[in-house]
Structure 1
């Protein structure tokens, strides 16, 4: 059985191995031991605070998916609580500049990109990765929607604005037209190097080197302009799931690869609206629909997906599922039904 739990130091070997599998473009999964050690430390500090009303400006709830049969970590998912406070969080905001020439009797509409910090103190969901053998039975949906259960469990720990950055489009050879046309001109680095520096040393160098003036899209090569707001092929399914939850793209894109940033008000996320607390009953719900279930215990947080029979007030779980969650009959858990 797969279940999510807070990351621990013992997971570092598995995390580094998965980082190698991710490749470039996912800055939250760096192949760097020191960065991972700091992330584990910060996550443990964030989980250890028992004040459920605390909003941390720089906390992270980093969770790993463990296979209960092997004890190995096979996936990751995370919530970054208040981004852009310890290091700036930059985006390009795409907008329309309209000019009219009376002499020429022409109206000109020009797309421009402005460097902004509009998502400062927003909460970001990210770091969703699953190893290839486990990409079955909608497990990606489980890792994604489990984070929304945490919003329902502890709403005051998070910002009202929730965002997700999607990887920008690249060719099969790893070529990023947006980076080649823009970022590379100012950083003089291969895309993967700039990506790694951002992940391991923060984004201050973006402020130091990126132009502060608007970027006129019509001055970019056609292939770069067409990439603005276009997700990587591997992100298409993820952005579809986000849109079903209510996330929308409002013109914000990543400064490196032009990938879309989507956002939604926390309380309007569909899974947050659907989440409901129920009392645990131990039984054998073998043919029942599968549900994503959280134990609501921040000091020993667990989320799993399993068959469960639900009523308005109760949820019937197997003994195995109850053990994984660390709950017993009479305890309260929160759940949402899987979309099969």
Structure 2
């Protein structure tokens, strides 16, 4: 059974909607709203159709397909440059140290400061794998295919990249961080705010939230405990990001307090280690398991395959070649599976 990552098409809308209903809330980039998802697909189509190698404000939506059945089993997204239509806000966790000579005591206060430090970064997000497929490294295929896409279209992306991880959501579907901070200013519960945010974006939070630093000591204990923690379902994603070279540099989402991971694009492991090569043969003789990508823009396809080096060229297995629609003399990107 072979799975391939490819560009999303209009006929994928129904599959995206069904997956969006399985996310459990707080998954901003995959809202369970057909109109919002159609808007995303339209924006993605425009990005795939533009052939210029220059950076813009674009979104690419990719799909994981079972090549044997044609079923869509996962999705992910890549944003070329955030903060171009609206400011891209984050909270930055900082520390203020003060000393009282009279009391002979030093006080350290943790603060959240509203910032647009990450504006202009590229972003990877919207990764969702169907619960029935969470085995066999398919989440890793989806996640790392984005980096091979970036490598293949490097001029379309910036120098810095980020990934926002969903924050802690309680058993009732609420957000301790929202309830302890933003919810006090909006008169909305998290579920209502989440639904509005998924369709309209979180600019409304940035517009109405106080711009001065917030002392975390003033928040509830549950809100403080959620700061910078990923949703339990996002812990594996956080480890994958760390393996790629992303780090948590004290930026959190202003909506649910989840961690924002950042890296320099050219230091991301899959981008740094990926190699371009010409296929000199396609056979069944095996090799080292790798991610192999072929094609540009809407023709981009990525799958697992067996790769053998022959000098600067490669031999790949037949199943992979069929999945990525490549043959002898095709040029591919490949990186070892880790």
Q: Structure 2 length normalisation: TM-score? A: 0.96
1:10 aligns with 2:11: yes
1:50 aligns with 2:55: no
| Alpha-carbon shift at residue 312 of structure 1 (Å) | 4.3
- Structure-2 residue corresponding to 1:227: 226
| Alpha-carbon shift at residue 268 of structure 1 (Å) | 0.6
4+ residue runs over 4 A deviation: none
Supply the distance in 2 between the matched residues of 1:49 and 1:34 (Cα, whole angstroms): 23
Supply the distance in 1 between the matched residues of 2:239 and 2:326 (Cα, whole angstroms): 33
CA displacement 1:274-300 (0-9 Å, x = unmatched): 100111133334543321111142241
- Structure-1 residue corresponding to 2:272: 273
Supply the distance in 1 between the matched residues of 2:100 and 2:322 (Cα, whole angstroms): 71
Supply the distance in 2 between the matched residues of 1:314 and 1:135 (Cα, whole angstroms): 33
Equivalent residues in 2 for 1:49-198 (5 A)? 49-52=50-53, 54-56=54-56, 58-198=57-197
The verdict on how the C-alpha distance between 1:288 and 1:214 changes in structure 2, with shifts beyond 3 A counting, is same
| Alpha-carbon shift at residue 117 of structure 1 (Å) | 1.4
1:25 aligns with 2:4: no
| Alpha-carbon shift at residue 112 of structure 1 (Å) | 0.2
CA displacement 1:176-206 (0-9 Å, x = unmatched): 2111111210121121221221221123311
Supply the distance in 2 between the matched residues of 1:302 and 1:187 (Cα, whole angstroms): 44
1:77·1:128 contact (CA, 8 Å) conserved in 2?
yes
The verdict on how the C-alpha distance between 1:220 and 1:319 changes in structure 2, with shifts beyond 3 A counting, is same
1:252·1:261 contact (CA, 8 Å) conserved in 2?
yes
Supply the distance in 2 between the matched residues of 1:171 and 1:192 (Cα, whole angstroms): 11
Equivalent residues in 2 for 1:230-241 (5 A)? 230-241=229-240
Q: Secondary structure at the match of 2:171?
A: coil
CA displacement 1:195-224 (0-9 Å, x = unmatched): 221221123311332111111011111221
Supply the distance in 2 between the matched residues of 1:29 and 1:6 (Cα, whole angstroms): 16
Larger mean CA deviation between 165-174 and 77-86 belongs to 165-174
The verdict on how the C-alpha distance between 1:298 and 1:237 changes in structure 2, with shifts beyond 3 A counting, is same
Equivalent residues in 2 for 1:295-310 (5 A)? 295-310=294-309
Q: Secondary structure at the match of 2:73?
A: strand
Supply the distance in 1 between the matched residues of 2:285 and 2:62 (Cα, whole angstroms): 27
The verdict on how the C-alpha distance between 1:215 and 1:286 changes in structure 2, with shifts beyond 3 A counting, is farther
Larger mean CA deviation between 304-313 and 130-139 belongs to 304-313
Supply the distance in 1 between the matched residues of 2:97 and 2:23 (Cα, whole angstroms): 41
2:149·2:300 contact (CA, 8 Å) conserved in 1?
no
1:282·1:322 contact (CA, 8 Å) conserved in 2?
no
1:36 aligns with 2:75: no
Supply the distance in 2 between the matched residues of 1:312 and 1:304 (Cα, whole angstroms): 22
Larger mean CA deviation between 306-315 and 40-49 belongs to 306-315
Supply the distance in 1 between the matched residues of 2:284 and 2:169 (Cα, whole angstroms): 44
Supply the distance in 1 between the matched residues of 2:98 and 2:212 (Cα, whole angstroms): 18
Supply the distance in 1 between the matched residues of 2:159 and 2:10 (Cα, whole angstroms): 31
Larger mean CA deviation between 98-107 and 231-240 belongs to 98-107
Q: Structure 1 length normalisation: TM-score? A: 0.95
1:87·1:203 contact (CA, 8 Å) conserved in 2?
no
Larger mean CA deviation between 258-267 and 218-227 belongs to 218-227
2:293·2:334 contact (CA, 8 Å) conserved in 1?
yes
Supply the distance in 1 between the matched residues of 2:235 and 2:162 (Cα, whole angstroms): 16
Count of matched residue pairs: 337
